[in-house]
Amino acid sequence: MSQTKPVYASFRSIGAYVPEKILSNADLETMVDTTDEWIVKRTGISKRHIAADDEYTSDMGAKASLLAIERSGLSADEIDLVLCATVTPDYFNMPSTACIISDKLGIKDVQAFDISAACSGFVYLLSVAKAFIESGMKKNVLIVGSEKFSSIVDYTDRTTCILFGDGAGAAVISATELEEEGFIDLHASADGSYADFLVTPAPGCINPVSQRVIDEGLNFVQMKGNETFKLAVKTLTKDVKEILAKNEINTDDIPHFIPHQANYRIIKAVGDALKMREEQVVVTVGKYGNTSAASIPMAINDIWESGRLQSGELMLLDTFGGGLTWASALLPFAGKSK
C-alpha cells in the first residue's frame, strides 16, 4: 500500500501595491487641529498613501497579486484558491472582493472568498491557506490583504485620520513536501468582548444605511485609541513570547520580526520588551501609516524588494486589530531571494 507523503504550506512569494497619491502630515495640518510634530512623536507616521477615487480595494489587491504570482514562478491558472482579507471591501458585502480580484486576474472557476479580521487579516489568511493545503484540498493559494481605508476614515476626526493609509499586499502559499520550507507554527485568536474598541458602526444590520447613519457619521471607523494601544502592546508581546517558547527559538535567532504597523511606539515597546535589536524589527509605518490587513504583506514586500529578506530566512509575524483579533506566525520565506 502506498503511503501519502505529508505536505506543508510554504510562503512562496510576495507582492505589494501602494497608490500614488500621498497624504502628508503637512496636508493633515490643513484639515484638522494637529501638527506634524505631534503625529511623528506619538505615532512615527510621516505620510500615508491614498487610493484615487476610482481605485478600489480589488484594484490594489489585483496589482499586488500580479506581482506575487509572477514572483512565484506559477501562472495564474495554477492558483486554486483566492482569499482576501479586508475591512474595506468593494461592496458591503456581496460580491466578495476575492471574487472581483479573481476576475481581474483572469482566474476562472476556483473557490474565492473574503475574511474579516481587520489588521490581523493577513495572518488569519495564512492559517486558512495552511489548513486548505495541509489537508490536501488545495495546492497554490493566493492570499491578499487589501484596504482602501480612506473610504471609512472621517477626515475631520484627528484621532483616527492621521493613522490610516491605503495599500495592498499579496502572497502565494504553496504545497511542498520539504518540511524545512513549511510554516513552523501559527497562532490566531480573538475576543469579541472588546468589539467596541475598533468599530465601523454602519452599514450593517444594526445600522442599515439611513439619514441618521449619515448625520452621525456612523459609516466611519471609531477607535478607543489609548485603550487599544495598551492592549496591543501587552497582547503582541505575550503572543511572541509564547510562540517562541513553544518552538524553543530565541529572539536572537529571528532575522525578521515583522509586526503589524499601527504605531511606531507600539512596535518599539514590543521590540524592547522582547529585547530585539533594531535591525531585527521591520518598520514601515512611517511611510505607509496603518494599512490594516495590508500592513504585514506590504512590510514583507519592502524587505524582499530591498534584498533584506533572503530565501530560507525566518520571519516572525505578529498582529493585533479590530474584533479584537490577534495572531502570530513563525515561518521561513520559501521563495527566491531578489
Q: Point out which residues bind ligand UT7 (CB under 6 A).
A: 34, 38-39, 42-43, 119, 158-159, 162, 225-226, 228-229, 232, 262-263, 266, 290, 320-321
Alpha helices (runs of H) in 44-114, residue ranges in sequence order? 57-72, 97-105
Q: Given the complex with ligand UT7, which of 13 and 284 has the nearer CB atom?
A: 284
Q: Of the listed 49, 99, 260, 263, which one is catalytic?
A: 260
Q: Shortest Cβ distance from residue 259 to ligand UT7 (Å)? A: 11
> What cell does 305 get?
524588494
Kindly state the smallest distance separating residue 335's Cβ from ligand UT7, in Å.
Answer: 27
**To the nearest whole angstrom, how small is the minimum distance from the Cβ of residue 324 to ligand UT7?**
9
Phi-psi region of 213 (alpha: psi -120 to 50; beta: other; left: phi over 0): alpha
User: Which residue's C-beta sits nearest to ligand UT7?
Assistant: 225
HSE-up (13 A, CA, CB side) for residue 97: 29
119 is catalytic: yes
Residue 261 CB, shortest distance to ligand UT7, in Å, is: 8
Active site residue 161: no
Which residue in 25, 140, 263, 290 is the catalytic one? 290
| For ligand UT7, the closer CB: 104 or 158 | 158
Other residues' Cβ atoms within 10 Å of the Cβ of residue 252: 10
* Cross-strand partners of 256: 315
CA distance 336 to 73: 10
CB-wise, 78 or 194, nearer to ligand UT7? 194
226 is catalytic: no
Nearer to ligand UT7 among residue 74 and residue 267 (C-beta): 267
Would you call 38 helix, strand, or coil by DSSP? helix
Give the three cell numbers for residue 161: 485620520
**DSSP assignment letter at 76:** G
Residues 6+ apart with CB under 8 A from 50: 19, 21, 22, 23, 150, 165, 166
Contact between 205 and 34 under an 8 Å Cβ cutoff? The reply is no
Instruction: Give the residue with the Cβ less far from ligand UT7, 141 or 162.
Output: 162
Minimum separation from the CB atom of position 140 to ligand UT7 (A)? 30
| Catalytic machinery residues | 119, 260, 290
